[in-house]
Amino acid sequence: MEPETTTQNISIEALLEENLRLKKELKRQKDLYEDSHAELIKYMIETEVASKKLTEANKRLGQTFSSAVEIIQRIIDLRCPGYFEHSQRVARISKAIAENINQSKGRSAEVYLAARIHEIGKMSLPDGIIGRSYEEMEEEEIKLIRNHYLIAATCLEKIPQFIPISKTIKHIRENVDGSGLPDGLEGDKIPIGSRIIAMVDFFDTRFFVHRRCTSIDETFDLMQEKLGVAFDPDLIGAVQEEIRKRFSNEDAPKDVQVKLNDLTPGMVLSKDVYTITNVLLIPRGVELTETLIHKLQSYQSTDPIRGGIFIQSEGEGK
């Protein structure tokens, strides 16, 4: 019987040893788990902190970019008074149209930003060209003004954040029949943003900026003549619908923008005249005199007029 007892004792001792080993292994695994869990929590906290910092940095970058866009707009407006409001209108309408035809949120945002600064190329034009119609220009002057979008794109594409916008601006003067500038693109090969902005810019320039059309329908008639040549027939419905939602003939400007050198005594201001440093020079409703005109001219060299000078049309206010 002794051998049996010895064997049983060995088995019990082996079981006890195995049990002890398993307990140690379990404790080791538990400690390892707790250490890993602690590391995971630490990693998650650090990741969350880094994510918040990245979000804040992106927010600041976005604000900086937005500020840069507005600065560009203000600079354009100094050279071409009234173009800040023009670009804002074109941007808001173009973005809405892009959204209405199911463009992505990112693409619609690109269209909006491109429209806000689409006139930047005019900064390269000689003073004598700005504000004149094609009928008043020589052939070489017309070529210059037609290429100002290409000039803008060439400058903007050197800045990484502006590359997508530069492509949209570059092709605004392309025609859907392939006869446009600078690359002779046609149809869908022209970026959708370029096609939208071209049509909205055409409307706004004629109805608001140069006031060559006295009604919305008159402007639309001119656009209709260019369908299939300059403008995309597939977009005309969306463009006209959005414009009609926002404007009526009652919104047509009741005043006229006049160049500083063309002011004459007796004209009545329809808007306050401010300098770029926000100094109110003359309030609206004032009738201009030689002295006041001289005051405006003297400020122009040191603190230029912001947004242009607007005069009441005949009969306004009477």
> 141-180 pLDDT, tens per residue?
888 888 999 999 999 999 998 999 999 999 999 999 999 9
In this model, does residue 203 exceed pLDDT 80? yes
Q: Which residues contact 216 (CB under 8 A, 6 or more apart)?
A: 203, 207, 243, 244, 247, 248, 249
> What phi and psi values does residue 269 have, to the nearest 5 degrees?
-70, 135
In this model, does residue 225 exceed pLDDT 90? yes
**What pLDDT does residue 3 have?**
54
CB-count exposure of residue 274 (10 Å: 0-12, 13-18, 19+): middle
Please give the residue that has the higher pLDDT: either 42 or 224.
224
Q: Which residue has the tokens 């005249």?
A: 273
Q: Which residues contact 276 (CB under 8 A, 6 or more apart)?
A: 74, 78, 303, 304, 305, 306
Amino acid identity of 279? V
Report the DSSP beta bridge partners of residue 163.
none
Amino acid identity of 48? E
> 190-200 pLDDT, tens per residue?
999 999 999 99
The full set of domains in the chain, from first to last, is 81-253 (1.10.3210.10), 254-318 (3.90.105)
pTM, rounded to two decimals: 0.73
In this model, does residue 35 exceed pLDDT 60? yes
In this model, does residue 245 exceed pLDDT 50? yes
Please give the residue that has the higher pLDDT: either 283 or 45.
283
Mean pLDDT of the chain: 87
What is the arithmetic mean of pLDDT over 232-256? 95
**What pLDDT does residue 16 have?**
77
Handedness of CA 297, 301, 305, 307 (dihedral sign): positive
In this model, does residue 54 exceed pLDDT 80? no
What is the arithmetic mean of pLDDT over 55-84? 79
**Secondary structure (H, E, C), the chain:** CHHHHHHHHHHHHHHHHHHHHHHHHHHHHHHHHHHHHHHHHHHHHHHHHHHHHHHHHHHHHHHHHHHHHHHHHHHHHHHCCCHHHHHHHHHHHHHHHHHHCCCCHHHHHHHHHHHHCCCHHHHHCCCCCCCCCHHHCCHHHHHHHHCHHHHHHHHHCCCHHHHHHHHHHHCCCCCCECCCCCCCCEHHHCCHHHHHHHHHHHHHHHHHHCCCCCCHHHHHHHHHHCECCCECCCCHHHHHHHHHHHCCHHHCCCEEEECHHHCCCCCEECCCEEECCCCEEECCCCECCHHHHHHHHHHHCCCCEECCEEEECCCCCC
Instruction: Tell me the C-alpha distance between 317 and 107, whole Å.
Output: 44
Instruction: Tell me the C-alpha distance between 255 and 108, whole Å.
Output: 33
